Structures are given as C-alpha cells and as structure tokens.
C-alpha cells in the first residue's frame, strides 16, 4: 500500500535544476527512511517539530518525489512515474492539512464538490455524494456556509469531507488537529478512525501525545529525518542509496494542495 525504502529527501536538490551547482548542498531532510504500511492500516507519524513529518507526508501524497530511495504508493513507484500516472495516483489520495486550505469564497458544499467537478463528474451525479459526506461529518445544516462563517472544527470537517469525497484508498493528514481544541480534535479523530474502519489506509502526523494516547495505533517516530526504530532492523540507510534521479519534471515537484 505504502512502502518507503531507504528514502532520502533533500529539498534544494529537489528544487534546483539538474545543472544548478548549488543543488545538493543542504543536509537531507529525510535520511534512510524505510517502512511499509499495510492496506487498511491506521498509523500515527510523530516526532518533534522539524523531524520530517510533513516531508514524509509530502512524499506520501506524491507532492514530492524522493531524491534517493524508493517510494511506492498504491503499487506505483513515484520516482519512475510519469506525469499522467502521478496525477492519477494523486486523485486516489486524500490530504488534510493543519490550516484546512479551503477556498474562502466557495461554500462548504462547493469546496467538497471541487475534486469531483475537477474529475469531470456531472452536477447531477455529485450532488448526492457531496450531501452524504457533509452529513457524515455533521455539517448538513452548514452546506451553504462560507468557510469564514464556520468554526475551526467545522472548517476542518469540511476539509476532511473534501479529502474523502472521492473515496481515496489512502488518506494522509498533517497535524489536522493543530488548530482545534481538544473536543474538536477528538471528534475529528473519530471521523478519521471511522474512515479507517471503512477500509481507507490512514496516516496522521501529530505531536499531540494526548490524542495518540486516546487512539492507540502503530506509530512511526521520526527524529532528525530518521525513523526511530528500537530494533534498528529497518534502517537500511547507505545499503541501497542511489544517485539523484534525472528528471526534467523535478522543478515542478513542490509541496502543495492535491486539488489545487
């Protein structure tokens, strides 16, 4: 489902053009990260600020590709995939950000409908799905509200609805409770938990230990760009390192919202 093998990520290298002599000078944000997540799993991703959580998630929703090693998502190795395959892959992965990233001038309904409209679904066919998912997150009465008229918890539930309305196989959330109070955070986690019970593979980055304790699940712990693994068995750093890939699209690989 999700497989990282000896993954390294160097931001400058990912951004610079292949001929840019400055490329590759910054330290790696991720170093030798190896793990595999089974289909249908729920996994916490924890670690201090700067440890690399967001970087792992960017690789996990194919906003970035590794500068060394392999990332395989839903059967596709992102470092070898072409533009079209990557776009198709991204459409099967839902993303929730700490700062919601809703479009403020669109209603809750239209924010959630956006991925379906972009995918070419007809208005008649998407109406029921959007309504159903907004009811599921408890916002049936707020469908026509604009994001600025909603509380933080409500906005984050719209963001979840938008992330799951296309029924993604994989859902990644980057500190989704960071701007919520404890009650809203627990409600959000209950939704992610239910999504997982329905079969979606879920990965949630957080530094909220209270929340992790409340929803026990396997966890990946990052420390300074490395996966902390008590038995050391997963650390293959150095054994499979690869030269930087040659890829003319590298400059376009930026962290970003999967649906624009």
Ligand X SMILES: Nc1ncnc2c1ncn2[C@@H]1O[C@H](COP(=O)(O)OP(=O)(O)O)[C@@H](O)[C@H]1O
Residue 17 or 151 having the CB closest to ligand X: 17
- Residue choice 34, 43, 54, 78 for contact with Mg ion (CB under 5 A): 54
Q: Which of residues 55-94 bind ligand X (CB under 6 A)?
A: 55
Does residue 200 belong to the site contacting ligand X (CB under 6 A)?
Answer: no
Q: How far is the CB of 41 from Mg ion (least distance, A)?
A: 21
Comparing C-alpha atoms, which of 169, 168, 180 is closest to residue 206?
Answer: 180
- Residue choice 32, 52, 66, 69 for contact with ligand X (CB under 6 A): 52
φ, ψ for residue 49, nearest 5 deg = -55, 130
Residue 191 and residue 157 in contact, taking contact as beta carbons nearer than 8 Å: yes
Instruction: Pick one of Mg ion, ligand X, none as the site partner of residue 50 (Cβ within 5 to 8 A by kind).
Output: ligand X
Question: Dihedral sign, CA of 113, 117, 119, 124?
Answer: positive
Q: How far is the CB of 255 from ligand X (least distance, A)?
A: 6
- Residue choice 18, 38, 50, 218 for contact with ligand X (CB under 6 A): 50
b/e code 132-160 from CB counts within 10 Å (16+ = b): ebbebbebeebbebbbeebeebbbbbbbb
Residue 109 or 258 having the CB closest to Mg ion: 258
Tell me which stretch binds ligand X (CB under 6 A): 43-51, 90-98, 115-123, 209-217.
43-51
Instruction: Pick one of ligand X, Mg ion, none as the site partner of residue 78 (Cβ within 5 to 8 A by kind).
Output: none
- Cα dihedral: 116, 38, 30, 235 (round 10): -170
Angle, vertex CA 199, rays to CA 9 and CA 7, nearest 5: 10
Q: Which residues contact 230 (CB under 8 A, 6 or more apart)?
A: none
Comparing C-alpha atoms, which of 103, 85, 102 is closest to residue 93?
Answer: 85
Does residue 108 belong to the site contacting ligand X (CB under 6 A)?
Answer: no
Q: Which of residues 182-241 bind Mg ion (CB under 5 A)?
A: none
Instruction: Pick one of Mg ion, ligand X, none as the site partner of residue 51 (Cβ within 5 to 8 A by kind).
Output: ligand X
What is the rounded distance in angstroms from the CA atom of residue 140 to the CA atom of residue 58?
A: 31
Residues that bind Mg ion (CB under 5 A): 53-54
Residues that bind ligand X (CB under 6 A): 11, 29, 47, 49-55, 255
């Amino acid at each position: 489902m999700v497989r990282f093998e000896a993954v390294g990520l160097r931001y400058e290298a990912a951004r610079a053009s292949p001929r840019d002599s400055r490329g590759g000078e910054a330290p790696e944000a991720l170093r030798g990260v190896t793990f595999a997540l089974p289909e249908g799993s729920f996994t916490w991703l924890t670690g201090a600020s700067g440890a690399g959580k967001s970087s792992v998630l960017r690789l996990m929703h194919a906003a970035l590709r590794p500068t060394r090693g392999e990332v395989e998502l839903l059967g596709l190795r992102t470092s070898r995939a072409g533009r079209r395959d990557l776009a198709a892959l991204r459409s099967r992965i839902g993303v929730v950000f700490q700062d919601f990233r809703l479009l403020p001038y669109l209603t809750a309904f239209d924010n959630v409908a956006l991925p379906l409209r972009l995918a070419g679904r007809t208005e008649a066919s998407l109406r029921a799905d959007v309504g159903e998912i907004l009811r599921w997150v408890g916002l049936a009465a707020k469908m026509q509200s604009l994001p600025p008229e909603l509380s933080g918890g409500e906005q984050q539930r719209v963001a979840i609805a938008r992330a799951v309305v296309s029924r993604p196989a994989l859902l990644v959330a980057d500190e989704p409770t960071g701007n919520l109070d404890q009650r809203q955070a627990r409600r959000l986690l209950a939704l992610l938990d239910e999504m997982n019970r329905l079969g979606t593979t879920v990965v949630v980055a957080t530094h909220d230990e209270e929340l992790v304790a409340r929803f026990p699940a396997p966890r990946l712990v990052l420390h300074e760009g490395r996966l902390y693994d008590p038995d050391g068995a997963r650390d293959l750093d150095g054994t499979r390192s690869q030269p930087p890939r040659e890829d003319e699209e590298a400059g376009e690989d930026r962290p970003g919202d999967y649906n624009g």
